[in-house]
Amino acid sequence: MINFNKLWKTKFNYSKIKREIKELNFNEINYSEYFIIDIRGRQEFMEGHLNGSINIPLFDLKRNISKYISNYNKKILVYCKSGIRSKKAVYILENLGYTNVYNLKGGLDNI
């Protein structure tokens, strides 16, 4: 059986992500400034999400982000339940060339 967690750990350098990631607290968000992406699964999104956010699950992010954002300097805020998956999303988006990507610190659990 494949251990997907192990694959993620070997693919991503978590110490690098933790050091370089830009994070915002919920009370710091100016909704009009950010394109907000919920990177949880569709079912999680349907159960509740931040107003004005769109749903692009983490596993679809790399393939679908260009459909929504063509400006690589656009401010993007990503979030998930706890902040773990959204940290991976920040790393993916930055590797694609997006320059203003922020993580919601602690995810929805921190609101």
Ramachandran angles phi, psi of 76, nearest 5° = -125, 135
Catalytic residue among 36, 56, 80, 104: 80
Q: Is the pLDDT of residue 13 over 80?
A: no
Tell me, what's the pLDDT at 20?
73
Per-residue pLDDT at 2: 46
Q: What is the pLDDT of residues 49-100, one digit of tens each?
A: 999 999 999 999 999 999 999 999 999 999 999 999 999 999 999 999 999 9
For the chain, domains (ranges, CATH) are: 13-110 (3.40.250.10)
Which residues is 38 bridged to in the sheet?
Answer: 55, 79
The per-residue pLDDT for range 36-47, each reduced to its tens digit, is: 999 999 999 999
Residue 80: active-site member: yes
Per-residue model confidence (pLDDT) at position 11 = 53
Does the pTM surpass 0.75? The reply is yes
- What is residue 89's predicted lDDT score, i.e. its pLDDT? 97
pLDDT in tens, 15-38: 454 457 899 999 998 989 999 999
